Amino acid sequence: MHHYKYFISLVGLLLIAQTVTYAQPRPRQPIKKPAVKASPAAATPKPDLLVRLDGTPLEVLVTEITDNEIVYKRFNNPNGPSFRVQKADFSSIKYGSNGEVERFETVSQQVAPQPEPVQSVASQPAPVAASPVQKTSTSSPAPAYQNPQSTEPFKWRLGVLAGVQSSAVTVDGEVLDVEGLGGFRGGLMVDNRIGRALTVRTQALFSTKGNANVKLDYLEVPFDLLYKIPIANGGILVGGGFYWGRLLSAKAGTTDIKNETSSSDAGLRLSVWGDLSSGLTMNVFYNYGLADVNSSGGEVIKNHSFGIGVGYFLLKK
């Protein structure tokens, strides 16, 4: 019986302890809140809006503004290079951070007049530069034609020329076994410079050709393109060209054979001239005929001549 009481007491204590344990408040588990993502609009800054004078807007990120300049980066490339522009080229800026608008009318009015003194300074040297040019052209004498260093083109001279020539004819390409003819040639010559060392020398001459049996008189016009080699007191001119002649008369002894002779003659020529600064000139030439002077048909007859001459230039310019 005594043991039974102890058992009942022990069971009662256990029930009381169990009741106390369940009666105590349980600790609350922490509640995890879902993470709130930052808004893209809040993370990305708004662009600064630069407005040009013509009204064109630029979206930029302004980093510096001075009295005369604006430094910015492109809004779509904030880590890229910086750009520096003149403040006078823009009318206003709207800041993206707070929406404030700043206008630059005062600055643009101050900077705009700056080109005026630049234009006035640039225009001043024009009359000053013209003065020495006019002075040089009036004070410097015109260079003489004989100066080999002169580079002025289109100088011309007019002169007279006379000389003798030894001529012969070929028949079907062969020289006849007939004595040649010594004839006179003379007339006018015109010298035209076309460069520092190039000259075109044209002549209008009375020229006698043929051989011991035939005498042909021509109005002959030779054209020479000459290269001048300067020497002391003048120059040596070497070149050649062509000639053309108009028949004036044709005789075989005392018989007129003009109707049997071609009315013109033409060919190539080589020519060497020696010019002196005094105006005197000497000439050696060779004419090689290409035209058939026989108009009656059959044999092909051509003129060939070699001669010398002396001339003098009367007029110079």
pLDDT class of 144 with cuts at 50, 70, 90: very low
* Dist CA 16 CA 44 (whole Å): 65
11 lies in a domain?
no
Instruction: Write out pLDDT tens, residues 175-230.
Output: 877 777 889 999 999 999 988 899 999 999 999 998 888 999 999 999 999 999 99
Domain final position from 110, 131, 148: 110
165 lies in a domain?
yes
**Residue 311 and residue 175 share a domain:** yes
Give the per-residue pLDDT at 3: 54
Coil, helix or strand at residue 28: coil
**Residue 68 and residue 209 share a domain:** no
* Dist CA 196 CA 301 (whole Å): 41
* Dist CA 154 CA 198 (whole Å): 10
CATH of the domain at 223: 2.40.160.20
166 lies in a domain?
yes
Q: Average pLDDT for residues 54-58, to the nearest whole number? A: 87
Strands 82-86 and 69-74: antiparallel
Domain final position from 110, 132, 148: 110
Q: Which of 184, 185, 202 is nearest to 193 (CA)?
A: 202
**Residue 251 and residue 186 share a domain:** yes
> How open is the CA angle 249-267-271, to the nearest 5 degrees?
105
Q: When comparing pLDDT for 233 and 149, which is higher?
A: 233
**Residue 305 and residue 177 share a domain:** yes
130 lies in a domain?
no
The residue type found at 160 is: V
Q: Which of 242, 253, 244 is nearest to 293 (CA)?
A: 244
- Count CA atoms closer than 13 A to 174's CA, side-chain side: 5
What token pair was written down for 146? 């004989």
Contacts of 222 (CB under 8 A, 6+ apart): 202, 203, 205, 241, 242, 243, 269, 271, 285, 287
How many domains does the chain divide into?
2
* Dist CA 207 CA 56 (whole Å): 84
Instruction: Write out pLDDT tens, residues 67-76.
Output: 888 999 988 8
Q: When comparing pLDDT for 17 and 100, which is higher?
A: 100
Q: When comparing pLDDT for 127 and 204, which is higher?
A: 204
137 lies in a domain?
no
* Cβ–Cβ under 8 Å, residues 202 and 190: yes
Q: What is the pTM of this model?
A: 0.51
* Cβ–Cβ under 8 Å, residues 162 and 311: yes
Provide the mean pLDDT of the chain.
Answer: 79
* Cβ–Cβ under 8 Å, residues 154 and 138: no
Strands 234-252 and 264-276: antiparallel
Of all residues in the chain, the percent with pLDDT exceeding 70 is 70
pLDDT class of 137 with cuts at 50, 70, 90: very low
* Dist CA 70 CA 84 (whole Å): 6
* Dist CA 51 CA 49 (whole Å): 6
80: domain range? 47-110
Give the per-residue pLDDT at 15: 65
Instruction: Write out pLDDT tens, residues 238-254.
Output: 999 999 999 999 999 88
**Residue 277 and residue 196 share a domain:** yes
Q: How many CB atoms lie within 10 A of CB 165?
A: 22
Q: When comparing pLDDT for 254 and 134, which is higher?
A: 254
**β-strand partners of 165:** 183, 307
* Dist CA 49 CA 301 (whole Å): 96
Coil, helix or strand at residue 222: strand
Q: Which of 247, 220, 242, 224 is nearest to 301 (CA)?
A: 247
**Residue 95 and residue 164 share a domain:** no
* Cβ–Cβ under 8 Å, residues 302 and 169: yes
Q: Average pLDDT for residues 253-260, to the nearest whole number? A: 91
**Residue 160 and residue 106 share a domain:** no
Give the per-residue pLDDT at 54: 85
Q: Average pLDDT for residues 83-101, to the nearest whole number? A: 87
Domain final position from 110, 129, 164: 110
Coil, helix or strand at residue 302: strand
Of all residues in the chain, the percent with pLDDT exceeding 90 is 38
Evaluate if residue 107 carries a pLDDT over 50.
Answer: no
Helix (H) or strand (E) holding 52: strand 48-52
**Residue 166 and residue 93 share a domain:** no
* Dist CA 210 CA 206 (whole Å): 14
Instruction: Write out pLDDT tens, residues 2-49.
Output: 555 666 766 666 666 555 555 555 555 554 545 445 444 445 678 988
CATH of the domain at 73: 2.30.30
